[in-house]
């Protein structure tokens, strides 16, 4: 049986490169091409060591783990222990998912148990499984890869669109300055109907240390009008800054949003600094972004007035 070392090296280089690139995408890492190529080359060279019987000790579990750790270090660098461990976990997760997909598609297209047993052989008392990839398998893998590519591309475009509308926000109330990341949402047209003041929505959890103990749960339930009953300056020092802004929720009737009147709001967007005093901070009881990418939704009018 002839073994083409160059073909084997190229195949492993492409497979390792694809896994490393997928891991970088999953971890939102902008990996440099030369790092990915160097890490993939290390993995491909490691596979070629199987042709040297005297180096059989290199295929122990410990060495395999060390090689994979070194590949991750080459591909993405080392900024912190926590970041490095997360990269390793993502690398192995992608490996396991890819291996499971290959086996799943392969056995999915098998017809009968006879084909399964033809892939199994007993060698030296141990069982070995051989995968024979036919035309049907490659066609199915190609279709799955095309679907995943389209899904990944769509998600990437969505993240890029969100990223282009990200701004840094600073809210000043008395001596407190609360900084967070905000998303400029052109669909946010919420105004205070009495004063026509734009409302910037912000996660109430950002002010958790200022609010009384039960406020966050009440805001989450939507019964914010109950908070104003029996309130005094001792209960909440910013009582005079509280507002109730009516709005209509999705599939629900008219509701009230608890809002704060800040002294100043600064928004840094595309290298420009926008400052405004005429704004209300609407408090949302949940998380505005599931991945925590932003904690506020900026009213579009706030980045078009005064810089």
Q: What is the CA radius of gyration of the chain?
A: 28
Q: Are residues 20 and 153 in the same domain?
A: yes
Between CA 80 and CA 194 the distance in angstroms is 51
Annotated catalytic residue within 6, 16, 174, 185: 185
User: At residue 127, does pLDDT exceed 50?
Assistant: no
Between CA 180 and CA 174 the distance in angstroms is 17
pLDDT confidence bin for 290, thresholds 50/70/90: confident
Task: For residue 283, list its beta bridge partners.
Answer: 202
286 Rama sector, left if φ>0, alpha if ψ -120 to 50, beta otherwise: beta
Between CA 128 and CA 119 the distance in angstroms is 8
Q: Are residues 226 and 259 in the same domain?
A: yes
Burial 88-123 (b: 16+ CB within 10 A, else e): bebbeebbeeeeeeeeebbeeeeeeeeeeeeeeeee
Give DSSP secondary structure letters for 248-290. E-TTS-EEEEEEE--SEEEEEETTEEEEESS-EEEEESS-SST
User: At residue 174, does pLDDT exceed 50?
Assistant: yes
% of residues, the chain, pLDDT over 70: 68
Q: Which of 130, 163, 196 is the last residue of a domain?
A: 163
Q: Are residues 150 and 238 in the same domain?
A: no
Query: Domain range for residue 268?
Result: 166-303
User: At residue 108, does pLDDT exceed 60?
Assistant: no
User: At residue 280, does pLDDT exceed 90?
Assistant: yes
Q: Are residues 146 and 282 in the same domain?
A: no
Q: Does 263 participate in catalysis according to the annotation?
A: no
Q: Are residues 120 and 172 in the same domain?
A: no
Between CA 212 and CA 202 the distance in angstroms is 18
pLDDT for 116 equals: 45
Q: Are residues 184 and 220 in the same domain?
A: yes
Helices (H), the chain: 5-26, 33-48, 61-76, 81-108, 113-118, 135-163, 215-221
In terms of average pLDDT, the best of 2-16, 51-65, 96-110, 117-131 is 51-65
pLDDT confidence bin for 263, thresholds 50/70/90: very high
Q: Are residues 140 and 196 in the same domain?
A: no
- Total domains in the chain come to 2
Q: How many CA atoms lie within 13 A of 288 on its CB side?
A: 23
Which structure tokens are listed for 160? 């890029």
Burial 130-166 (b: 16+ CB within 10 A, else e): eeeeeeebeeeeeeeeeeeeeeeeeeeeeeeebeebe
Which structure tokens are listed for 304? 């078009």
Q: Minimum mean pLDDT among 11-15, 103-107, 174-178: which range? A: 103-107
User: Whole-number mean pLDDT of the chain?
Assistant: 75
Q: Are residues 98 and 206 in the same domain?
A: no
């Amino acid at each position: 049986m002839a073994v083409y070392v160059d073909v084997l090296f190229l195949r492993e280089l492409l497979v390792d490169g694809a896994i490393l690139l997928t891991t970088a995408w999953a971890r939102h890492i902008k990996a440099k091409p030369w790092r990915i190529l160097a890490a993939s080359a290390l993995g491909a060279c490691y596979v070629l060591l199987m042709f040297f019987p005297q180096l059989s000790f290199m295929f122990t579990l410990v060495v395999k783990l060390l090689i994979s750790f070194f590949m991750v270090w080459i591909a993405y660098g080392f900024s912190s222990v926590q970041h490095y461990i997360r990269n390793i976990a993502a690398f192995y997760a992608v490996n396991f998912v890819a291996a499971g997909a290959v086996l799943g598609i392969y056995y999915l297209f098998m017809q009968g148990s006879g084909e399964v047993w033809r892939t199994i052989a007993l060698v030296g008392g141990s069982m070995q499984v051989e995968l024979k990839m036919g035309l049907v398998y490659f066609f199915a893998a190609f279709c799955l890869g095309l679907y995943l590519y389209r899904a990944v591309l769509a998600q990437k475009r969505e993240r890029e669109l969100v990223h282009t509308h990200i701004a840094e926000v600073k809210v000043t109330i008395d001596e407190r300055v609360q900084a967070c990341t905000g998303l400029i949402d052109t669909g946010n047209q919420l105004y205070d109907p009495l004063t026509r003041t734009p409302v910037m929505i912000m996660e109430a959890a950002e002010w958790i240390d200022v609010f009384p103990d039960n406020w966050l749960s009440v805001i989450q339930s939507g019964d914010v009008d109950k908070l104003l009953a029996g309130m005094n300056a001792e209960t909440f020092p910013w009582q005079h800054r509280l507002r109730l802004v009516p709005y209509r929720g999705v599939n629900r009737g008219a509701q009230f949003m608890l809002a704060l009147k800040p002294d100043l709001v600064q928004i840094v967007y595309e290298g420009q600094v926008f400052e405004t005093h005429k704004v209300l901070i609407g408090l949302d009881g949940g998380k505005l972004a599931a991945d925590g990418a932003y904690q506020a939704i900026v009213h579009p009018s706030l980045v078009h007035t005064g810089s």
